Amino acid sequence: MNKLYIIGIGFRPFDKRASEIIYNSNLILTTSNRLYELFKEHEEFKEVKDRIKVITNVDETIEFIKSEIRNLKPEIQTVALIASGDPMFHGIGRRAVKEFGKDMVEILPDLSCVQIAFSRIKEPWDDAFLISFHRSGILEKNKYEIDDIPLLLTRHNKIAILTNERNNPTEIAKTLLKSQIPNPKSQIIIYVCERLGYDDEKIIEGAPDVILKMEFLSPNVVILQNRAGEPPPSPPFGKGGQGGFSSETHTSLWLTKEDENPSPFPSPLRGEGWGEG
């Protein structure tokens, strides 16, 4: 196999290069039935549908590429893997590079769900802190749990959370209400960005006690804001030669359940960027 192309799928049509790769690939993989259904809405699908294989597990996808393609079927020259949003943002991209090496893998990303979520609530995200409860299958031990959120929210006024079935918006609200954060009902705002990019997309905003009483569809992204500790606005651009920034350097820390240490993170068709494959 000459190349493994990992192509992010989302709100927008594929760009020219991604489209050409899909048309010319001998085999096209998707890692979930949801992505397969999303792929159907792209114009490339009809021509390549007979070359598509759905494998609904990341580990099985990697093993399939390794054993069935890389080792046993050298006649297959090009494989396209359709992934969610930005494959390097808590997606399969990291795992693929680890398994096959940078020379064999090429990434063509779309937008991530976190980018879309912050645009929906019209808030910047370069000062946010991210917790991901998505599993990447790379490290066995998870460092951060839902009970860590209240403490993190006292240190970071804005937190984005990639949820899962267990660590869902209702459980997050419950955790905040039973914590020792002063006045969580009035000081904390929860945004639940539900099914971004789908026809039934919803953005729900409320205090923890309101969110606690609601049910939500998956996938969703939760954004928390602690209004008690919001910093004053930055000075106008160019003031004091800082271009609107204070003299202190602020680094946005993006934290996953798999990471041993936080790391700096530089900064649709439908159902885009959910970071699950």
Q: How many residues does the chain have?
A: 277
Question: ∠ CA 171-173-174 to the nearest 5 degrees?
Answer: 65
First to last CA, the chain: 21
The Cα–Cα gap between 235 and 239 comes to: 6
Considering only residues 75 and 190, tell me which one the structure prediction assigns the higher pLDDT. 190
- Residue 64 pLDDT level (bands cut at 50, 70, 90): very high
Q: In the chain, what are the domains?
A: 3-110 (3.40.1010.10), 114-264 (3.30.950.10)
What pLDDT sits at residue 275? 55
* Residues linked to residue 202 through DSSP beta bridges, in sequence order: 194
DSSP letters spanning 205-230: EE-HHHHTT---PSSEEEEEEEGGGP
Query: What's the token pair of residue 224?
Result: 């928390």
- State the DSSP H helix or E strand holding residue 37, giving kind and residue range, or none if neither: helix 33-39
Nearest CA among 99, 100, 83, 72 for reference residue 38: 83
The Cα–Cα gap between 152 and 212 comes to: 20
155: number of Cβ within 10 Å: 11
Q: Is 100 strand, coil or helix?
A: helix
153-163 confidence digits (pLDDT tens) = 999 999 999 99
175-219 confidence digits (pLDDT tens) = 999 999 989 999 999 999 999 988 899 999 999 999 999 999 999
* Residues linked to residue 108 through DSSP beta bridges, in sequence order: 7
pLDDT at residue 277 greater than cutoff 80: no
- State the DSSP H helix or E strand holding residue 175, giving kind and residue range, or none if neither: helix 169-177
φ and ψ at residue 232, rounded to 5 degrees: -65, 155
Mean of the per-residue pLDDT values of the chain: 82
The Cα–Cα gap between 28 and 5 comes to: 9
The answer to whether the pTM exceeds 0.75 is no
